[in-house]
Amino acid sequence: MNVIELAAWTHAEFVKIHPFVDGNGRTSRLIMNDQLMVNGFLHSGFGRTETGLL
C-alpha cells in the first residue's frame, strides 16, 4: 500500500469506527494530513467552511 492509499484507508477506517461524539472528521483529516506530510506531501489545506454548508 502506498502512502496515499494508506492515508485514505486510515481516514476511512477512523471515520467508520467513529470513536468520539464530535470531531471524528476533523481528527481523521488531521491524522491523514500528518501521514502525508511526514512522507513529504504538502498540507491539503482543509479549514473552516462557510456557515450553512454543514
Are 15 and 2 in contact, with CB atoms under 8 Å apart?
no
Does residue 23 have a known ligand-binding role?
yes
Catalytic, 18? Answer: yes
pTM over 0.85: no
Residue 43 CA to residue 8 CA, distance in Å, equals: 14
Does residue 44 have a known ligand-binding role?
no
Residue 12 CA to residue 27 CA, distance in Å, equals: 12
Q: Which of 3, 17, 18, 41 is catalytic?
A: 18
pLDDT tens digits for range 3-54: 999 999 999 999 999 999 999 988 998 999 999 999 999 876 666 655 554 4
Alpha helices in the chain (DSSP H): 3-17, 24-38
Does residue 29 have a known ligand-binding role?
yes
Does residue 22 have a known ligand-binding role?
yes
